[in-house]
Amino acid sequence: MMRRREFLRAVGGAGAAALLGPLEGGAQQRPVKLGALFDVTGATGDVGSHFADGFRDYIRWVNEHGGKIDLIWSDYQYKPDQAVAFLKKLVEQDQVPAISGWGTGDSILMKPQIESYGIPYIPASLHEGLLDPPNDWIWLIGPSYTDHMKTLLDYVKRTYKGIGRPRVALAVHNSEYGRSPVGPAKAYAPTIGVEIVDVEEVPSNVLDATSQLLTMKRYAPTHIIIQNVARPAAIVARDARKLGLDAQILGIHYIGDQLLFDLAGEAANGVIASTFVSNWFEAVPGMAQVHRLNAAYHPEVTVRPLHYTQGVVHAMVWVEVLKRAPSPTRAGIRSALGALRMTTGGLTAPISYGPAKRKGAEGIKLLEADVRTKQFKPITGWLTPPR
């Protein structure tokens, strides 16, 4: 309670001033609508609920400080049907001028509709394929999974000290989200002198990954790169160590979760995670605000995974775009988004969009897991992914 009052006092003034931009226009203070799809209780709800919390918390804070954003959201439970129906409702009935999305599969499904409606859309998914032409209305918040993969491959090449070429095995989720960086990895690796020796698929309800890892072991990989959500990623890391695979383990984004320490124990030590948002424990200026947001609205939660921060960042981007848009219409928002330049206080690399640039924050940070403190420590600054 005390914290909250302090917090409000401390930032209320600054916040209100910062937000009074387009709302100064006088009496018409009409709320600006924003649509959002979240997965809170569905198949990816374990991370989606944190994303939803972060997003909603930031919007709530903005509204409590003079903002007027009418967030129309729904938990579509990762069901494509509900996503499509909700999309149509948002556009045709609620007439929102922009939509924040979530999953890879349903974003693919909705893309034709988004293009035909002509409505700005930023999903939480980082699937490169969403930007394939024809694409005028979809932007990504950060580097795609493919970019993460290439950055990790570069890192592997840079740090490999053994004989011959590094041998990389991939352990991916059995969905489009998991598979999307595989092809590009196979194309990119030879160009920098890295071999992709094996690709294994690991589904999210996996109980044990022994068979996949035994197969992988046959190829004697020096590195394992995991593109999977937190639980299966942690299980792969744990089982790899257990079976005597002493390859260096790296993972894209989702592996950077406390669950890694809980499930993989000692095996988590030294795991390298790539991320485009800063970690809960990092001392970047923006993180203080994220902590305060969480403390204000969810005092019982002490630590949040990076999806909470990602939700906050997405909301920040939208608020900024809505502020700068010449008019709260789809075209207006598109023009503002297409030329957006902003920083997030270190939560991500600086965000910018342009005519040929549809990925906002193009910085990837590498973190290393430290079992003793059960935290991820950054080992690089913001790296730019290779083209």
Partner 1 sequence: MTIFLQLVVTGVAVGMVYALAALGFVVVYKASRVLNLAQGYFLALGAFGALLLAQLTRLPFALAVLGSLLGSLLLGLLVERLLLRPLIGKPVIAVIMVTVGLAAVLRGVILLRWGAGNFGFPQLLPESPLRAGPLIVSPVHLGALVISLLMLGVFVAFFRGTTLGVAMRAVADDQQAAQALGVSVPRVLGASWAIAAAVAATAGVVVGSINGLNADALSFIGLKVFPAVILGGLDSVPGAVVGGLAIGVLENLAGGYVDPLVGGGAKEVAPFLVLVLVLMVRPYGLFGTVEIERV
Partner 2 sequence: MTVRLVLSDCSNFKVRYQDEASLFENDVGRLALGAFLVLWFVGVPLVAGPYLLTLANLAGLAVIGATGLNLLTGYTGQITIGHGAFMGVGAYAGAILGARLHLPFWAAVPAAGLLTAGCGAVFGIPSLRLKGLYLAIATLAAQFILEYIFVHWDWLTRGTSGYVVPPAWLGPWRVAGERAFFWVISAAAVLTTVLSCNLLRTRVGRAFVAIRDNDRAAAAIGIPLFPYKLLAFSLSSFMVGVAGALYAYYLGVVVPDKFTLDLSIDYLAMGIVGGLGTVLGPIYGAVVITVLPEVLRAGSQALSGVFPGITNALIALREVVFGAVIIAFLLFEPEGLADRWRVVRAYFKTWPFAY
Q: Does 44 bind partner 2 (CB under 8 A)?
A: no
The number of beta carbons lying within 10 Å of the beta carbon of residue 341 is 12
Of 60, 48, 41, which Cα lies nearest the Cα of 101?
48
Q: Which amino acid is at 14?
A: A
Q: Does 184 bind partner 2 (CB under 8 A)?
A: no
x/- letters, 215..244, toward partner 1 (CB under 8 A): x--x-----------xx--xx------xxx
**Smallest separation (angstroms) from partner 1 to the CB of 48:** 7
**Smallest separation (angstroms) from partner 1 to the CB of 46:** 4
199 vs 62, 130, 168, 202, 227, CA distance in Å? Answer: 45, 23, 9, 10, 11
Judged by beta carbon, residue 241 or residue 358, the one nearer partner 1 is 241
8 Å CB contact between 375 and 279: yes
Chain positions 52 to 71 lying near partner 2, rule: CB under 8 A, are 56, 60
**Smallest separation (angstroms) from partner 1 to the CB of 240:** 12
Q: Does 92 bind partner 2 (CB under 8 A)?
A: yes
Q: Residues binding partner 2: what is the number (CB under 8 A)?
A: 33
Q: Among the candidate windows 85-93, 211-219, 291-299, 308-316, which touches partner 1 by CB under 8 A?
A: 211-219
Judged by beta carbon, residue 26 or residue 244, the one nearer partner 1 is 244
- Tokens at residue 206, please? 């996996």
Judged by beta carbon, residue 37 or residue 245, the one nearer partner 2 is 37
Among 20, 43, 84, 131, contact with partner 1 (rule: CB under 8 A): 43
Burial 285-304 (b: 16+ CB within 10 A, else e): ebbebbbbbbebeeeeeeeb
Would you report the helix, strand and coil content of the chain in percent, each value rounded to 5? 45, 20, 35
Q: Which segments within 115-260 are labelled E, that is strand?
A: 121-123, 167-172, 195-201, 223-227, 248-252
Q: Among the candidate windows 129-137, 259-267, 332-340, 343-351, which touches partner 1 by CB under 8 A?
A: 259-267
Q: Does 49 bind partner 2 (CB under 8 A)?
A: yes
Q: Binding partner of residue 46 among partner 1, partner 2, none, CB under 5 to 8 Å per kind?
A: partner 1
Judged by beta carbon, residue 235 or residue 347, the one nearer partner 1 is 235
**Furthest-apart CA atoms within the chain: distance in Å:** 71
x/- letters, 270..299, toward partner 2 (CB under 8 A): ------------------------------
Q: Does 82 bind partner 2 (CB under 8 A)?
A: yes
Cα separation of 229 and 194, whole Å? Answer: 25
Helices (H), 255-359: 259-264, 285-297, 306-324, 330-338
Among 35, 48, 101, 105, contact with partner 2 (rule: CB under 8 A): 105
Among 169, 259, 317, 347, contact with partner 1 (rule: CB under 8 A): 259
Among 15, 35, 48, 101, contact with partner 1 (rule: CB under 8 A): 48
8 Å CB contact between 261 and 369: yes
Among 8, 20, 23, 109, contact with partner 2 (rule: CB under 8 A): 109
Torsion of CA 237, 240, 245, 246, to 10 degrees: 20
Among 12, 22, 265, 345, contact with partner 1 (rule: CB under 8 A): 265
Judged by beta carbon, residue 74 or residue 310, the one nearer partner 2 is 74
Torsion of CA 335, 91, 45, 252, to 10 degrees: -30
Cα separation of 305 and 261, whole Å? Answer: 13
**Smallest separation (angstroms) from partner 1 to the CB of 201:** 4
Give the three-state DSSP class for 117.
helix
Cα separation of 107 and 125, whole Å? Answer: 8
Got the DSSP string for 6-35? HHHHHHHHHHHHHH-TGGGG-TT-PPEEEE
**Smallest separation (angstroms) from partner 1 to the CB of 369:** 15
Where along the sequence are the contacts to partner 1 (CB under 8 A)?
A: 40-46, 48-50, 174, 199-201, 203-208, 210-212, 214-215, 218, 230-231, 234-235, 242-244, 259, 262-263, 265-266
Where along the sequence are the contacts to partner 2 (CB under 8 A)?
A: 40-41, 49, 56, 60, 73-75, 78-82, 84-85, 88-89, 91-93, 105-106, 108-109, 111-113, 129, 174-176, 179-180
